[in-house]
Structure 1
Amino acid sequence: MRSQYIAMNQVMPLQEDAWLLLRNVLIEHQLPKGDLLLQPGQVCKHIFFLQTGLMRSFYLKDGEERNVAFTLENGFVTDLKSLRSAQPSELSIQALEPSTLFSMPKNDLLQLYEQSHQLESFGRRLLETLLEEQEDYAAWFTLYSAKERYNQLLKKQPALVQRVSLGHLASFLGIRRETLSRIRKLK
């Protein structure tokens, strides 16, 4: 539980009493490589903290998978739209490696917010951080070329480039695998 405490303190420092309340609602999950954490049609009812492993979030459009996020250790993953609206998800979240996650059920979190102002602030900060990541990803396609997106990814998350297949990376960058291969050869 120590690593969760440290990672969650990066979102916002938590006092010991707030951490103890939060720790009581965490549910551990072991997910084998390839298994889905969330699939289209399910309502997302949790925010997940990834302790070990690697996750990808993707949409299926016209029979093609389109990666929109990767989550590394000590990161959080969810479908914000489904979580907030209680509508069925269009997103899939899949383990790319064997993964250990801890879920925080939305209903439990809402109850904790009533018990602890600090946890309410933590929840708001966490959701703002997740939303900011989505907005940054969307802006990539307006502001940067494919080569610039790849270079930014190399700079911000070099471990990701080493752990994710070329096909998944190309999809995430919004380019074909062949284009990514050409960009990588220019390095």
Structure 2
Amino acid sequence: MERLMHFLESIHPMSDELKIYLQANLKQREIKKKEYLLKAGHVSKHVCFILTGLLRCFYEKNDTEVSSWFMKEGDVVFSIESFYTQTPSYESIQALEDTSILYIDHAELEYIYKHFAEFNYIGRILTIHYHTLWARQLYSIRMCSGMERYQWMKENHADLLQKVPARYLAPYLNMTEVSLSRLKAQRG
């Protein structure tokens, strides 16, 4: 809990009342490797903060799992469209390793936004951060070669290149496992 509080405070100071509310309402959950945080077709009901571990977000296309995002320690995770609209998700979120999260549900987050003005700023900064990452990822997939995408990943998320199996990482980089293996061999 202390790690999340420090993370939120690094964005904007929180009132004592907000800290008390969060401490009373945050829940912790352990997710085993290969277990799902969310399955496609279900509603994303929680916004989560990853204390430890690694998750992947993916969807299925033509019987193939396509990874769209990897979330690790210190990241916030939920299915964006499903969470905000409270409708079934087209994507799944699965643990790639044993993972520990803190979470609150949709109604609790709405209560926080309504009753603690400072959290609106925190939420906006987090939204900007993740939308910027998403835009960068879309640009990379559309405009960069496989080698450029791999190089960006190596420079910005080298830990993921080591931790994420190639069968999940290759579709994320919009390439085949063979191409990824070749790039790893060439570029180290």
Q: TM-score, normalised by structure 2?
A: 0.93
Answering whether residue 25 of structure 2 is matched by residue 25 of structure 1, we say yes
CA distance in 1, matches of 2:139, 2:45: 27
Q: Which residue of 2 aligns with 1:73?
A: 73
* Contact 2:14/2:119, CA 8 A, preserved across alignment: no
Residue 124 (structure 1) shift: 2.5
| Shift in CA distance, 133/20, structure 1 to aligned 2, threshold 3 Å | farther
2:187 counterpart of 1:183: no
User: Which has the larger displacement, 139-148 or 126-135?
Assistant: 126-135
- SS of the aligned residue for 2:97 comes to coil
* Structure 2 counterparts to residues 35-74 of structure 1, below 5 A: 35-74=35-74
Deviation at 1:35, TM superposition (A): 0.3
Q: CA deviation at 1:20?
A: 2.8
* 2:66 maps to amino acid: R
Query: Separation in 2 of the partners of 1:131 and 1:25?
Result: 27
What runs of 5+ residues in structure 2 fail to find an aligned partner? none
* Greater shift in the superposed pair: 55-64 or 159-168: 159-168
CA deviations on 1:9-48 (whole Å, 9 max, x unpaired) are 34x1232513332232211111000000001111112111
> What residue in structure 1 maps to residue 145 of structure 2?
145
Letter in 2 for 1:104: I
**Distance in 2 (alpha carbons) for counterparts of 1:94 and 1:30:** 12
1:166 counterpart = 2:166: yes
Q: Distance in 2 between matches of 1:162 and 1:16?
A: 40
State the alpha-carbon separation in 1 of the partners of residues 69 and 82 from structure 2: 16
Change (3 A) 1:104 1:132: farther
Question: Which aligned segments of 4 or more residues in structure 1 are displaced greater than 6 angstroms?
Answer: none
Give the corresponding residue for 2:88.
Answer: 88
Deviation string, structure 1 residues 44-83 (Cα, Å, up to 9, x no partner): 1211100001000000111000001001101111111111
Identity score, percent: 27
Tell me the SS of whatever aligns to 2:40: coil
Task: Please give the alpha-carbon distance, in whole angstroms, between the structure 2 residues aligned to 1:104 and 1:139.
Answer: 32
Letter in 2 for 1:62: N
TM-score (normalizing by structure 1):
0.93
Q: Does the aligned pair in 1 maintain the 2:44–2:78 contact within 8 Å?
A: yes
Q: In structure 2, do the counterparts of structure 1 residues 23 and 133 end up closer, same or farther at CA, with 3 Å as the change threshold?
A: farther
What CA distance in whole angstroms lies between the structure 2 residues aligned with 1:46 and 1:127? 16
Are the counterparts in 2 of residues 25 and 105 from structure 1 also a CA contact under 8 Å? Answer: no
How far did residue 118 of structure 1 move? 0.3
